[in-house]
Amino acid sequence: MVQWLMLFRQLEYFVALAREKHFARAASACFVSQPALSEAIRKLEHELQVPLVQRGHSFEGLTPEGERLVHWARRILADQDALKQEVTALRTGLTGELRVGVIPAAAATVALLTDPFCAEHPLVTVQLETSLRSAEIIGRIRSFDLDAGVVHPDGQDTEGLKLTPLYEDRQVLVVGSGLLPGAPDGIDWADAAELPLCLLSSGMQGRQVVDDAFTARGLTVTPRLEADSIAALLAHVGAGRWASILPESWLRTLRAPEGTRVVPLGDPPTAAAVALITGGGEPGSVLARAFSEVARTPHVRDLLRGLRTGDDAGAPLAGG
Cβ atoms of 187 and 265 closer than 8 Å: yes
Percent of the chain exceeding pLDDT 90 equals: 34
Domain with CATH 3.40.190.290 in the chain: 168-271
Percent of the chain exceeding pLDDT 70 equals: 89
Q: What is the CATH number of domain 2-85?
A: 1.10.10.10
Q: Domain 168-271 has what CATH class?
A: alpha beta
Q: How confident is the model at residue 7 (pLDDT cuts 50, 70, 90)?
A: confident
pLDDT value of residue 319 = 41
Domain with CATH 3.40.190.10 in the chain: 95-162+276-309
Mean pLDDT for the stretch of residues 261-287: 85
Contacts 24+ apart (CB under 8 A), 67-72: 70/14, 70/15, 70/18, 71/143
> What are phi and psi for residue 263, nearest 5 degrees?
-125, 130
pLDDT value of residue 149 = 96
Does the pLDDT at position 295 exceed 90? yes
Fold category of 95-162+276-309 in CATH: D-Maltodextrin-Binding Protein; domain 2 (3.40.190)
The model scores a pTM over 0.85? no
Does the pLDDT at position 223 exceed 90? yes
The pLDDT tens digits for 231-262 are 899 999 998 889 999 988 888 777 788 888 89
Domain with CATH 1.10.10.10 in the chain: 2-85
316: CB partners within 8 A, 6+ apart:
255
